Amino acid sequence: MSTSDSKETAQRIGQLREKFVKIYGHHPEGIWRAPGRVNLIGEHTDYNLGYVLPFAIDKNALVAVRRKSQLEPDAKVLDFASTFGHGETPAITSVELDELVPGAVPGWAAYPAAVLWVLNQLEGLELTGLELLVDSDVPVGSGLSSSHALEVGTIVALNDLYNLGLAETDMARLTQRAENEFVGAPTGIMDQSASLMSHAGHALFLDCRSMESEAVPLPLIEQEAVVLVIDTKVEHSHVDGGYAARRDSCEQAAAALGVASLREVSNVAELEALEDPVVRRRAKHIVTENQRVLDTVRVLRDGDLKAVGQLLCQSHESMRDDYEISSQELDAAVEAAMAAGAIGARMTGGGFGGSAIALISVQQIAHVSQAVETAFERAGYVRPAIFTVIADEGAGKA
Ligand code: GLA
């Protein structure tokens, strides 16, 4: 576990500081922390301007930063290094100012570069050139928002260092733009928002149209329950066609119904007007999922985890059958967890791989984990990574 205030995070911060000095020959000006997320419920509703209910998890990106005194004479806008995937002395990727264009920056450096690109378009900001070193324990490709954690860690750092005065919702919008236009992934606003705005012990109930949010207490500790993540190790990507195709279907549905977004539709009967059965099914997922988020918030307030569990299962069925974004591994994870006595389970995140979550009682951690592992082994799937998560505090100075 590495919650915002855990010993493990403190240790990683110390190591990052030391490595920074080794690599760049100076101390960083500060270190910022941005968590990954799981989404409890409300999938693909964000870009339909609906509701989501994610929470920040106790796995995070740490971003150490130093501003160079000025951009000249070497004109490098960014020196980037990361501790993951490298040995003792990580390689530095340097980005020149004229390389700060979509598609030009390779690897992990693309995420902080995307943030610089978007900030560089703000009035009144003079980029000075930056040295960055990042460390992250958010598993990559697992659907837990490792890339958003990196973007959010960068933007909160620069917001502080350059006194930009950006509100959390501004930073969410800017990093979404960075992701959409620089990285090229047509994603919504949920992941950044979860990383920026979550509160420990709470889920973030976010209205993606108004950007109003509310922290909803998760009565897990009181009820001796926990959220288990099952990372199927089947890497997902939002740059591939599946995510964009779902988004297109939703836009088609909204256009055909004459509404600005599917958020405007609250009754599935209205979807009868859609001729294309595939588009109708996609829209049905969005309309029913929005309702499930509202229902989950309501039953969470009553402390009714059993009812939450039922909604999670319904959400999974909807993603499997109507939105068609699940995978055989995700379905197997959900089925095995439920058969082993989970309160509820569903895939989480964009889909086509990545992770599932199971809401279980604390006593069942070993039993459910074992059942899922056995099911995967029998089916000949890659061994999943299974771990519990805690609802952590959103991003900030470490
Ligand atoms: C990805 C995207 C989010 C959201 C989810 C699906 O995580 O980044 O914006 O659309 O998929 O709910």
350 lines ligand 1 (CB under 6 A): yes
The amino acid sitting at 49 is: L
Mean pLDDT to the nearest integer, 288-312: 98
Give distance in angstroms: CA of 18 to centre of ligand 1.
35
Query: Which residue lies with its CA nearest to atom 11 of ligand 1?
Result: 350
CA of 188, closest atom in ligand 1: 9
pLDDT value of position 241: 85
CATH topology of domain 3-215: Ribosomal Protein S5; domain 2 (3.30.230)
- Give the mutation target among 38, 43, 46 for probing the ligand 1 site: most ligand atoms within 8 A of CB: 46
Kindly list the domain boundaries of the chain, sorted by start residue. 3-215, 218-389
Joined tokens for residue 2: 């590495």
* Ligand 1 centroid, distance to 267 Cα (angstroms): 23
pLDDT tens by residue, 44-71: 999 999 999 999 999 999 999 999 876 6
**Three-class secondary structure of residue 58 per DSSP:** strand
Spell 12-48 as b/e; 16+ CB within 10 A means b. Answer: bbeebbebbeebbeeebeebbbbbbbbbbbbbbbbbb
Residue 197 Cα distances to 12, 55, 74, angstroms:
23, 9, 37
- 136 SS3 class: strand
Domains 3-215 and 218-389 share a fold: no
Q: Given the structure tokens 């050139």, which residue do they identify?
A: 129
pTM: 0.96
Q: Is the pLDDT of residue 1 over 60?
A: no
pLDDT of 90 reads: 77
Q: What CATH topology corresponds to 218-389?
A: Alpha-Beta Plaits (3.30.70)
- In short, whether 47's Cβ falls inside 6 Å of ligand 1 is yes
pLDDT in tens, 341-384: 999 999 999 999 999 999 999 999 999 999 999 999 999 999 99
Tell me the CA–centroid distance for residue 42 and ligand 1, in Å.
9
Q: Smallest Cα–Cα separation from 226: which of 40, 375, 43?
A: 40
**What is the helix, strand, coil percentage profile of the chain, to 5?**
45, 20, 35
Strand partners, 203: 216
Averaged pLDDT for residues 135-162 = 95
Provide the pLDDT confidence category of residue 235 given band limits of 50, 70 and 90.
Answer: confident
Q: Is 187 helix (H, G, I), strand (E, B) or coil?
A: coil
User: Cα(21) to centroid of ligand 1, in Å?
Assistant: 36
- Number of residues in the chain: 398
44: Cβ below 6 Å to ligand 1?
A: yes
Q: Is the CB of 43 under 6 A from ligand 1?
A: yes
Mean pLDDT of the chain: 94
> For ligand 1, is residue 289 a contact (CB within 6 Å)?
no
Instruction: Give residue 126's pLDDT band: very low, low, confident or very high (50, 70, 90).
Output: confident
Residue pair 52/37 in contact (Cβ under 8 Å)? The answer is: no
pLDDT per position as a tens digit, 73-113: 666 899 999 987 656 677 899 999 889 999 999 889 999 99
Distance 67 CA to ligand 1 centre (A): 32
C-beta neighbour count of 374 within 10 angstroms = 12
Ligand 1 touching residue 90 (CB < 6 A): no
